[in-house]
Chains A and B, each alone.
Chain A
Amino acid sequence: MQSFDLAANGLRALNSALHGLKGQTNMTAWEIINPKGAHAIAAGVDAPVDITVRGSTGYYCAGMNKQATIRIKGSAGPGVAENMMSGTVIVDGDASQYAGATGRGGLLVIKGNASSRCGISMKGIDIVVHGNIGHMSCFMAQSGNIVVLGDAGDALGDSLYEARLFVRGRVKSLGADCIEKEMRPEHYAILEELLRRGEADHKARPEQFRRYGSARKLYNFNIDNASAY
């Protein structure tokens, strides 16, 4: 186990050590202590390593992650796992706005609540939120899946493309061009798998969820749909 004291050694030293890990490495387990809400902790990692952050983080923790499993033993500031490519990020507490924004792959698990704009413009990432998500979540979400065990705020999935949104609780309102869709067998299978991987299978069952997706009216400009914009 490599232990790194962020307060003592600083962010640049941490991130350059993590960026130095390429391909196969013997240093597969890392622990970061004293994060104290610092920005960009473990951003840009590209190695199959396991990183545990002992405390709460600031902006952009685990941004652009590839391959790594990053666990935050606290809450995460804005933009956690932003533009993640692959790997897994698990937040034990809450996540601030735009968690998982523009993520292209991998799995983001938030065990508390996520605030506004969760999964905005997601492009292939899977997100599992054990609590609630805030307003404008999944705005312009293009692909990937989000599973929300709690409630969703206003304007869920506004201007949505092909991401699949699964919400167990109440949706305060749907955004433009986002509609409820039927649950088919393949959706139950996706949920079964994501609840398991998201460490939520003891809390929820696939049949408790509703699915929301794009009505596909706003993909191309059509004068007949002008009132929906």
Chain B
Amino acid sequence: MCGIVGLFLKDPALEPKLGAMLTDMLITMTDRGPDSAGIAIYSGAKDGLGKITIQSAQPEVDFKDLDLDLKEAIGQPVLLMEKSTHAVLEVPISQIEAARSALSHLRPNVKIMSVGDSIEIFKEVGLPRDVATRFQVAKMAGTHGIGHTRMATESAVTTMGAHPFSTGSDQCLVHNGSLSNHNGVRRELRRAGMTFETENDTEVAAAFISHKLQEGEGLGQAMEATLTDLDGFFTFVVGTKNGFGVVRDPIACKPAVMAETDQYVAFGSEYRALVNLPNIESARVWEPEPATVYFWER
């Protein structure tokens, strides 16, 4: 069992409240997943700048002077914003890859959570309320976001095993369920050049979609392909820079409820997660059909 929440805003007036709304939804899903929690927020792109979200078990050591060390390595200014065990690095977009490779030399213990123009990912072990507080998610603004509360089945309860998983620029995926053919798919994706941080089944699903997107497929097509190539139980919620998608396996054991108004599209593993959203009483509320891809793009 796991909990998933997601919000894709249509009304810019709600954007300053995205983090607060997602935090409330995430905490409601605590009893579906008390092991760890995570959130991906698309907080908007700044002209010419990209973001790398990093994590360290020893932030006081790893983050110290990292902005200066990176600046020296890439020859461009770098802004470092620390948040507990995570930090967001703002780097000129042209230097993202250079910064990434410099990071692996300068701070080999630092893990990369996400890379992109807009995405930031924060995830840790612990209760959803504690995780959300630690990263001050409630203060974050953005256009869309996805949260996850994890009850682990397929791999250990670790920071890197928490969701969301990001395997491509501005992409992320969360999962409720378990995949049974992830080892085979991981081998094929490795052969195709994808890299993996964990032995987790969900990371394979994320990489599967990233690989399809790299090959030029659209979000809808990439999600459609999970229905034929991934075996197991899943409800996936996927984020891209401009998009938000949902797909459930054909058996559809893993619960899912969606709500849509003129202001937002919302996802919750249970209706409970949606009850405090604005005008939920008049929203169109439905269960996504099995083996059917839903996605929204702006």
- Please give the residue numbers on chain A whose beta carbons come within 8 Å of chain B beta carbons, in ascending order: 36-38, 56, 58-59, 75, 77-78, 94, 96-97, 115-116, 134-135
Q: Collect the chain B residues with CB atoms within 8 Å of residue A36's CB.
A: 272, 275
State whether A77 touches B271 (Cβ < 8 A): yes
State whether A75 touches B271 (Cβ < 8 A): yes
Closest to B256 in A: A96
In the complex with contacts A94-B287, A96-B287, A58-B271 CB distance below 8 A: yes
In the complex with contacts A96-B255, A97-B255, A116-B290, A75-B285 CB distance below 8 A: yes
A116 to B256: give the CA distance in the assembly, Å.
12
Q: Does B102 contact A (CB under 8 A)?
A: no
Closest to A76 in B: B271
CB pairs A–B below 8 angstroms (27 shown): A36-B272, A36-B275, A37-B270, A37-B272, A37-B274, A38-B272, A56-B271, A56-B275, A56-B285, A58-B271, A58-B272, A59-B270, A75-B285, A77-B255, A77-B270, A78-B255, A94-B286, A96-B255, A96-B257, A97-B253, A115-B252, A115-B287, A116-B252, A116-B290, A134-B252, A135-B252, A135-B290
Number of A-B contacts (CB under 8 A): 39
A59 to B272: give the CA distance in the assembly, Å.
10
* B interface residues, tally (CB under 8 Å): 15
Q: A36-B272, A37-B271, A115-B287 are in contact. List 4 more A-B contacts (CB 8 A).
A: A56-B285, A77-B270, A77-B271, A135-B252
A97 to B288: give the CA distance in the assembly, Å.
12
Q: Collect the chain B residues with CB atoms within 8 Å of residue A75's CB.
A: 271, 285
Q: Collect the chain B residues with CB atoms within 8 Å of residue A135's CB.
A: 250, 252, 290
User: Nearest Cβ distance between residue A10 and chain B, in whole angstroms?
Assistant: 14
User: Nearest Cβ distance between residue A155 and chain B, in whole angstroms?
Assistant: 11
User: Nearest Cβ distance between residue B79 and chain A, in whole angstroms?
Assistant: 41
A38 to B270: give the CA distance in the assembly, Å.
9
B252-275: which have CB < 8 Å to A? 252-253, 255, 257, 270-275
